[in-house]
Amino acid sequence: MADESDGLKSDVKKEVKKKDIYTHDDEDLEQKVENLKIEDSVTLHRHARRIAFRIRLDNEDLIVVNDGQSIPLPLAKLKRWQWWTLIVINICFLLIGQVVAVLLGRFYYDQGGNSKWMATLVQTIGFPILFVPFFLFPSSKQIPTTPTTSFSLPVVLLFYLIIGTVIAGDNMLYSVGLLYLSASTYSLICATQLAFNAVFSYFINSQKFTALIFNSVVVLSLSASLLAVNDDSDRPLGVTNGKYFIGFMATLAASALYALLLSVMQLSFQKLIKKETFSVVLELQIYTSFFATCVSTIGLFASGEWRTLSGEMDGFGKGGLAYVMTLVWTAVAWQVCSVGVVGLIFVVSSLFSNVISTLSLALTPLAAVVVFHDNMNGVKVIAMLMGLWGFSTYIYQNYLDDLSMKRKQRDANANGTQLTS
């Protein structure tokens, strides 16, 4: 019976790890398994997973949600309306922050601003704002879903430096795109990041490529193609066909690079950082933004554009004070957006955060029509509708995946309830 007991306990340990059910540490897991009463070897062999479920119920410090992420107990104790309130607040942060940032970026160019490096710098220079949620909501008692990273600090910092440099380059591409495109056209092209994300997730993160996802990729690609051949009558003054093409390609490349960054960051959580808590996600945002800011600052001075800033301020259409406030509030808006992104990753998931971010790009053209009176011609309307259709099919696929996961979770809960009864 002793040999059978040891075998059963070994099965339970494997099941606990396989089902992403974690306790404080290995010693705690060993103690919980050793305390199990072995009575019926056949029954226990058959229901090892239910035993693992009981171990999870005994854990007082965290719960495990469908995607395997650990959530602190205070968040788990929230009532349903409180949880939804947090989600709505973070969605508002993301949507308002991104829409306002894009509109202010276009306003900067319209009123006489011409520094691409300055437009790049303001996208990350407000990163100290992220220290507010970092210190207000520390991730205490968070248990990593996998062992702590075995990589040295220099390796992790090198990773942050590389990602920060790529982010600075990506922001520069966005700045070039916004310089030569209207806000509505720019945002519609940016929406293609969802299609790029699906492709990169398939190759890098092993995400399945279903018919609905394929439909989303094709529709979003066709939407971008329509904008490529569109004779944009409301393009900024002085923008030739050649500059319009440069703006289009820069924005498309920026969207692809951003999607690649998301997939690489997700892979880094699995292979390098090996945990995804609120603090860790914020740290990633802070460190990469810091390095991106350093690279952008170097670019600003190396290019010589810093010499033109005084002239830009004097010649700004709405005055020098408006020039400064435009840059300041653009920086603030991007960081408000970042808080929303991180908040949704923490409360829901990284996928949901990315989807809401893409939704804001579909709302920006409507805001541009109101603020800048952009011309929404027939091609733009069709492109926007196609973008919404691609977005909807992507959402529906994730809805189906969520239903499937919830069904599996209910089955696991039912098995655990039967065992405890």
* H/E stretch holding 104: helix 80-110
The residue extents of the domains of the chain are 97-137+160-407
Contact predicate 45/8, CB 8 Å: yes
Instruction: Give me the pLDDT at residue 70, please.
Output: 42
Q: What DSSP string runs through 228-291?
A: HH---TTPPTT--HHHHHHHHHHHHHHHHHHHHHHHHHHHHHHHTS----HHHHHHHHHHHHHH
Q: What are phi and psi of 72, to 5 degrees?
A: -65, 150
Instruction: Please report the pLDDT score of residue 249 as a whole number.
Output: 94
CB 387 within 8 A of CB 220: yes
* pLDDT digits (tens), the chain, 421 positions: 455 556 555 655 555 554 444 433 444 555 555 554 444 444 444 444 444 444 443 333 333 333 334 444 445 556 667 777 888 888 899 989 999 999 999 999 999 999 999 999 999 999 998 898 888 766 544 444 444 455 678 888 899 999 999 999 999 999 999 999 988 888 888 888 878 888 888 888 777 778 888 888 888 888 877 777 666 556 787 888 899 899 999 999 999 998 888 888 778 876 776 665 667 778 888 999 999 999 999 999 999 999 999 999 999 999 999 999 999 999 999 999 988 887 776 776 666 777 777 777 767 878 888 887 777 777 878 888 888 888 788 778 877 877 777 777 677 666 655 555 5
Q: CB under 8 Å to 284, separation ≥6 — which residues?
A: 160, 265, 268, 273
Interval 1-59: pLDDT, tens? 455 556 555 655 555 554 444 433 444 555 555 554 444 444 444 444 444 444 443 33
User: What would the DSSP string read from start to end of 29-94?
Assistant: HHHHHHTS----HHHHHHTHHHHHHHHHHH--SEEE-TTS-EEEHHHHTS-HHHHHHHHHHHHHHH
Query: Which pLDDT score is estimated for 31?
Result: 55
Can you say whether residue 79 is alpha, beta or left, with left for phi > 0 and alpha for psi between -120 and 50 degrees? beta
Task: Give buried/exposed letters for 306-343 (b at 16+ CB in 10 A, else e).
Answer: eeebeebbeebeeeeeebeebbebbbbbbbbbbbbbbb
User: Which residue in 81, 88, 59, 55 sits closest to 71, CA to CA?
Assistant: 59
Rounded distance between C-alpha atoms, residue 44 and residue 204, angstroms: 38
**Rounded Cα–Cα distance for residues 392 and 212 (Å):** 10
